[in-house]
Amino acid sequence: MQNIQLHIDSDGVAIASIDVAGRTMNVFTPELTADLAHLVAKVKADDNIRGVVICSNKDNAFIAGADLMDFVQSYDKGLSNRECAELVEPASEALRALEQLGKPVAVAINGLALGGGFELCLACHYRVLVKHPKAVVGLPEVTIGLLPGGGGTQRLPRLIGIPKALPLLLSGKHVSGDEALALGMVDALADADQVVEVARQWVLNNPEWHVPWDQRGFKVPGGVGAMAGHSMDSFGIGIAKLRGQTQDNYPAPIAIMKAVYEGTMVPLDRALKIERGYFGQLLGGPVARNLMRTMFVNRGAARKLENRPAHIAKHPVQKLGVLGAGMMGAGIAQVSAQASIDVVMLDTTSEQAAAGKENISKSLSHAVQKGRIDQASVDALLARIHTTADFADLAGCDFVVEAVFEDRGVKAEAYKNTLEGLGKQVEGFVMASNTSTLPVSSLAEGWATPEEFIGVHFFSPVDRMPIVEIIRGAKTSDHALARAMDFVAQLRKIPIVVNDSPGFYTSRIFCAYIDEGMAMLHEGVMPAVIENAGKQAGFATPPLAVTDEVSLDLQQRVINQSAADGLDDKFLRLHAVPVVEKMNALGRLGRKTGGGFYQFEPGQPKRLWPGLAEHFVATPQQPPLADVKNRLLYIQALESARCVEEGVVIASADGDLGSILALGYPTWTGGTLSFIETVGPAAFVAECDRLADLYGERFRPSAWLRERATERSVFY
């Protein structure tokens, strides 16, 4: 066995240590499945073996789950639901054979055991978990659009009852030691040096152990089926809640509920077939492909900086300069100091710089009160931030982020003052602009070395948003790009890299989204219809609500700047201008002024402003809800395709990650470009043409996109 090391001790207990070859962490692979089947056959045939303890040879981890690369291409390969179900059949059967070994089997869980790893634990007869804060168990398959295919939906309810098991399956929650013991997911906790021994002693003390659910008269704790006392809460009300939460965009939760309901009413062998059937349906559909590909495979690759220029040596930031101590500048300073980087935060006056640091302190004090960080860590973080109004204090910084007001003149002045303060000695010094819309190539003209100038677009709130958009200007060097990616990685954020353009990538598709919402409002679509359509489509925040958060005066300034720069009409957002101007004239700029499209009253939930009905009169005939949803979904996807066509988006994976993690595009789609693939290029183009005929030429696909649709060309 290549992946399992077997040792039989003097008491006749077989210690089976899992060590998947070539992996830093154990994952469930077809090779491991084959070795488990071989282990069962060997132990069963040897009368000298009294029982088995399964453990891991990897430090601080048992098994992290399945290797998603075995699954992620199933949909694109055109596998049928039956063929998808067959992919997990060997593992399911191997675990069933282990469970029915006829000899006691205990598992010593030395760290995290998730997905297929915990399904292996469930197939064992006794589970011992190490006492360690990072030791967690769970079945998180729902988060990748799947359900457990190795018996998890059947053994967990039989072990702890449906009312306890179903919430764990539907949430994918990782459960730590004490809670896992209280729930009955594990049978014992032990110190690291005792985990195997506790499991071994159980094997010796239980030579005649048999699986409870294989015994005549076994009943699932709490009952099963429609007559169980919990049935209405678990399934009746439960399905209604699920549909409200998922808007029917995510099939996995409903499939889990069906598998549990149906499977717990029949013997386990039949139940496992039911489970595999639902697994096959999910794996054979696009949503699981989208979630696996974007949210796990591509996000993991981005974290590892797979697109970083390989010929540039790694160079983490030692001392960071931040120009501007406002909300964004202070946020960047905070997350940088939290990453153990020394920070010089500069503003126009010493008082303004100090005020920025005080805001950081206040924010962190709330985190201390909530137990998210301790005071000693806060003190150390604040000690790394030096505030100043003197540009000469930037001496020694090897990377500077400019985060001043989004105005070309203000930014140019900041670069001029930096160069004067440093005596123009900026060799090896990377200047990065935290701009959201202004073209980086033109901003770089104000810097002494344009090749060392780059855009780094952070999102608000900086401490919570997981992604940073890196914008490469016309003259940006590989060195500056590598340094920017290294910096983002230091902050434990995910970098996406795009080429320069007005609005780059994320701002272009974000504006397309909010502008479409405002355009519909101007056309007479009821605001509640617009917002509910956004929610039903799966957007993190509907368009009018999110516009209130970013403010309408900012939208006016961006539009004005685009006009002043002489940009094409497509950047002037003409279909949204009437609404932007009206709201600015009314003084309703969004949350920051206490009201925009919504009313924000202290102590009250926000609600749509009744005055919208007066200023934007609804038409008697409202459009179909499907059209409203599609306008929001398709306009962003179409703008993303344009960004690919224009060379702004370099890698499709970055486009998808940016749309979801930065802007809240629905995760079920896998992102804007994956959405086009999910619909199908030809069907996407046809729907865009229909929308263009009804609602405006901005929906009209380009000749480039039409050609791709004809050729059935995909983005991956």
Rounded CA-CA distance 265/562 in Å is: 64
- Which tokens go with 8? 């039989």
Name the residue with tokens 């009209």. Answer: 700
- For residues 676 and 637, is the Cβ–Cβ distance under 8 A? yes
Cβ contacts of 135 within 8 Å, gap of 6 or more: 60, 109, 110, 111, 112, 129, 176, 177
3-state secondary structure of 1: coil
Cβ contacts of 278 within 8 Å, gap of 6 or more: 147, 153, 255, 256, 258, 259
- For residues 178 and 116, is the Cβ–Cβ distance under 8 A? no
* Half-sphere CA count of 521, side-chain side, radius 13 A: 31
- For residues 320 and 312, is the Cβ–Cβ distance under 8 A? no
The single residue of 31, 89, 93, 141 carrying the catalytic annotation is: 141
3-state secondary structure of 494: strand
- Which tokens go with 517? 């919402």
Q: Is 531 a catalytic residue?
A: no
DSSP tag of 296: I
Rounded CA-CA distance 185/399 in Å is: 49
3-state secondary structure of 430: strand
Cβ contacts of 515 within 8 Å, gap of 6 or more: 573, 575, 576
* Half-sphere CA count of 496, side-chain side, radius 13 A: 30
For every residue of 608-667, DSSP letters joined together read: E-TTHHHHSPPPSSPPPHHHHHHHHHHHHHHHHHHHHHTTSB--HHHHHHIIIIIT---G
Could you tell me which of 427, 399, 425, 403 has the C-alpha nearest to residue 414?
A: 403
Q: Is 119 a catalytic residue?
A: yes
The H-or-E segment that residue 137 falls in is strand 136-138
The single residue of 93, 99, 119, 262 carrying the catalytic annotation is: 119
Cβ contacts of 368 within 8 Å, gap of 6 or more: 374, 375, 378
Residues acting as catalytic residues: 119, 141
